[in-house]
Amino acid sequence: MEENRIGELMDVTMTRIKQLVDTNTMVGEPIITPDGITAIPISRVSFGFGTGGSGDVGKGKSYVGGSGAGVRVEPVGFLIIKDGVCRMINVSSAPTNTVERVIEMLPELIDKAETLVDKYVKKE
């Protein structure tokens, strides 16, 4: 019975976190300027939570429990799209690990791959 109550606390906590953190938190709504530039805000989201409780399972009447959560949203940059070309403009510090570097370079790599494919298709 106690396990079910802890499960209920975890469910409520996760539901609240899902309400706070959705895909629009990480990848924001596109901003389109009058001159045709589209800017998409990108953020890094971190969160953690904990749940615990104790009670008199035998009698099933007393139970004490609690849960807590924290969310951190950090702006990373903007994807800038102009004339079909996508670039990442960073507003945060330099990447600190390989995954961050790959994510930062991804739009540029995609543009280069498209250019190579276009040149190859034109030659044929």
The pTM assigned to this predicted structure is 0.50
Helix H or strand E segment including 124 = none
CA 109 to chain centroid: 21
71-110: per-residue pLDDT in tens?
Answer: 788 888 888 898 888 888 888 666 667 777 777 777 777 8
Q: Where are the domains of the chain?
A: 2-92, 93-124
Which residues contact residue 117 at a Cβ distance below 8 angstroms, ignoring those fewer than 6 apart?
A: none
Best CA proximity match to 45, nearest among 63, 23, 20, 72: 72
Predicted pLDDT of residue 105 = 76
Classify residue 93 by its DSSP letter.
P
